[in-house]
Amino acid sequence: MSEIVGFQALLRTLGQRRVNDEVALSDVTYSLMNISSAFRIAFCAFFGIQLKEPQAWSVEREYPLGGNLRVDLALTNPSGEAYLIENKIEDRNYHFKEYGESAAGLKAKGLWLIAGHVLAEKAPSTWTVRSWSELVQHLEQSDLAEDKDLIRSFEAYVKGACQMAPIKEIRLDNTALASLFYLNNLFDKMITSFQSLDAKCRIYRSIYNFDNGNMGKYLTLSINGYKELVFPWLGLSCEDEPCIGIWFDKDKSWGRPVHSHPGLQAGEKNYYKIYREPSGVWFELKDSHYEAFMTANQTQQAQLLSSFFSEVINDVASALKAGGKT
């Protein structure tokens, strides 16, 4: 995996899992504005400002407005005129009056609000209101002179932080809908019927989890001779090409022992291939087996997935047991 792809995966995961609140989104936006002139140009163009000397503009975080008031971000042009930017993902307290009538607000060249939702009230005429989804669309359509991969990574982060789940054409085919239901039932049966001398599995969350094109569930993995519990995720990923796999998150309470184990970094076995990302390890059902699964009968499908599941769980259990606590 290239550094750029790895960084994109890291930002996407941060947006979906941990670093996804308004403070973090403002921090990431501020950081990118500081290191990328291309992003600063595109961001200001989104609000109708054409930057001729992007490097001459300064960006500030938690900009003081007077008293105890601070706005999330401020862009200041070479003439000392400030554009104040407030970020809201879910919070509906927009501070229109307080910020707009503050000492700095009254002198500001522009008052901008960028939100992750439809506003609950009409904004004053002095404010320009846009959405994060509109910014992502603007960036995707912009002709970026440089830092394209970096800005694409930021787009992925924003989509996760603002929960921009992709929506594509919907075909409510009875067979496809039923297949998802039966696949969920097969996952349940596979987990509950799994037998091994070294490991035991049970369903951790019984609900069928839908998240950013991924459908599956968490399970609890206990290993004989290994003190920690591990919480893998088993499911179907539809982010790119559909595939079935087992995910071990880097987070300590979920799957860090697997992510950090030297024997589980790469490679492949009969049924799976390992893909290691900054945020976790993905054990994917190999393409040949996935293709066979899609054309097999029900009995063959159950046998194939059970063999895949057993191979992954037993290999992980053996590696952790042999390597001790990481």
pLDDT at 165 (0 to 100): 67
The CA dihedral of 167, 173, 177, 178, to the nearest 10 degrees, is -170
List, for residues 295-325, the tens digit of each pLDDT value.
999 999 999 999 999 999 999 999 998 874 4
- Provide the number of structural domains found in the chain: 2
Q: Residue 298 has which token pair?
A: 């029900």
Q: Do 219 and 307 have their domain in common?
A: yes
pLDDT at 166 (0 to 100): 67
Burial class (CB in 10 A: 0-12, 13-18, 19+), 34: middle
> Is the model's pLDDT at 177 over the cut of 50?
yes
Q: Do 140 and 248 have their domain in common?
A: no
Within-domain flag for 167: no
Within-domain flag for 169: no
Within-domain flag for 168: no
Contact by Cβ (8 Å): 270, 310: no
User: Where among 161, 194, 220 does a domain terminate?
Assistant: 161
Nearest to 184 by CA among 297, 280, 305: 305
Q: What percent of the chain is modeled with pLDDT above 90?
A: 45
pLDDT band at 71 (very low <50, low <70, confident <90, very high): very high
User: Where among 133, 161, 189 does a domain terminate?
Assistant: 161
The CA dihedral of 12, 136, 29, 63, to the nearest 10 degrees, is -150
**Residue 202, domain extent:** 174-323
Q: Do 9 and 134 have their domain in common?
A: yes
Measure the CA angle with vertex 224, ends 219 and 228; round to 5°: 60
Q: Do 303 and 203 have their domain in common?
A: yes
Q: Do 154 and 9 have their domain in common?
A: yes
Q: Do 179 and 144 have their domain in common?
A: no
Say how many CA atoms lie within 13 Å of 316 toward its Cβ. 31
Q: Do 53 and 199 have their domain in common?
A: no
User: Where among 138, 161, 184 does a domain terminate?
Assistant: 161
Q: How many beta carbons lie within 10 A of that of residue 297, not counting itself?
A: 7
Q: Do 145 and 191 have their domain in common?
A: no
Q: Do 83 and 198 have their domain in common?
A: no
Within-domain flag for 166: no
Helix, strand, coil in percent for the chain, rounding step 5:
40, 25, 35
Measure the CA angle with vertex 214, ends 290 and 281; round to 5°: 75
Q: Do 146 and 181 have their domain in common?
A: no
Q: Do 239 and 92 have their domain in common?
A: no
Within-domain flag for 293: yes
pTM value > 0.75: no
Within-domain flag for 52: yes
Nearest to 40 by CA among 29, 24, 26: 29
Q: Do 188 and 290 have their domain in common?
A: yes
Place of tokens 């390597």: 323
